Amino acid sequence: MTDIIIAIDGLSSTGKGTFAKRIASALDIPYLDSGAMYRAITLYGLRSGIIEWNGEIDQHALQEALLLNRVELSFVKGKDGESRIFLGDEDVSLKVREMDVARNVSPVSAIPFVRNFVDEQLHRLGSKGCVMDGRDIGTAVFPNADLKIFMVADASVRARRRVLQMEESGQKADYEEILKNVQERDFQDSHRAFHPLRKAEDAIELDNSDMTVDQQMVWLDAILRERFSLSVL
């Protein structure tokens, strides 16, 4: 076990989570999925009526819920070794992937007090070493991360991956709708005022449009060996 902090940022559905999980398991360090935290807060908002059917958010009520610790987020390692996200004592790992959450999460993640809330949790959980994925990990959450990776891939490749992921977990998936959602989220994530998605100056870009996860591990292994004398193979 090492105390290295690896920040993985990039466009939505570039396979950050899949890559991060493989790295975390190879290095035996926690994997923290910051997107799942924004999604769980969004799910809480939808269920409690704080986010209305038309997408309108009652920011005052959301802030109060966060301040009063009504949104308790935690990660638990499941029997399969997968990291699962809990909202209170409910495992919401699958629920947070559903389309109604995906449709509403970008505006929620653009709210500064929501970002501060998530950042605090990430610091609490990750400062002793972790692999963390998101949009602003290398630029805002852990600007001193030991290694920063910025992932990109073609939008059509990413939409197909998302379709497969949803079908594998038994959910219905519509390619055109998902492609639109991927493109809209790219735009919203990189154009918001507070902590927009952007590549940190010292991040290494990885375009995995034509790469398998095994190939990504080989790519990373060379970097880790050279810089940190660590291996993930």
Q: In this chain, which of 104, 109, 139, 181 binds ligand DC, going by CB under 6 A? A: 109
Residue 85: how many other CB atoms lie within 10 Å: 23
CB of 77 to ligand DC, least distance (A): 19
Q: In this chain, which of 12, 93, 121, 181 binds ligand DC, going by CB under 6 A? A: 12
Question: If binding is defined by CB under 6 A, does position 83 make contact with ligand DC?
Answer: no
- DSSP string of 133-154, one letter each residue: EESSIIIII-TT-SEEEEEE--
Q: In this chain, which of 29, 117, 136, 158 binds ligand DC, going by CB under 6 A? A: 136
Which lies closer to ligand DC via its Cβ, residue 198 or residue 228?
198
Positive or negative, the Cα torsion across 55, 59, 60, 61? positive
Question: If binding is defined by CB under 6 A, does position 105 make contact with ligand DC?
Answer: yes
Question: If binding is defined by CB under 6 A, does position 93 make contact with ligand DC?
Answer: no
Contacting range for ligand DC; rule: CB under 6 A; set: 76-84, 86-94, 130-138, 147-155: 130-138
Residue 20: how many other CB atoms lie within 10 Å: 24
CA gap 107, 109 in Å, rounded: 5
Which lies closer to ligand DC via its Cβ, residue 29 or residue 37?
37
- Between helix 99-109 and helix 112-126 the angle, nearest 10°, is 100
Which lies closer to ligand DC via its Cβ, residue 154 or residue 221?
154
CB of 179 to ligand DC, least distance (A): 14
CA gap 117, 152 in Å, rounded: 27
Q: In this chain, which of 83, 104, 106, 208 binds ligand DC, going by CB under 6 A? A: 106
SS3 assignment, position 203: coil
**Residues 149-208 contacting ligand DC, CB under 6 A:** 185, 189
Question: 147-152 and 31-33 as β-strands: parallel, antiparallel, unpaired?
Answer: unpaired
Which lies closer to ligand DC via its Cβ, residue 12 or residue 208?
12
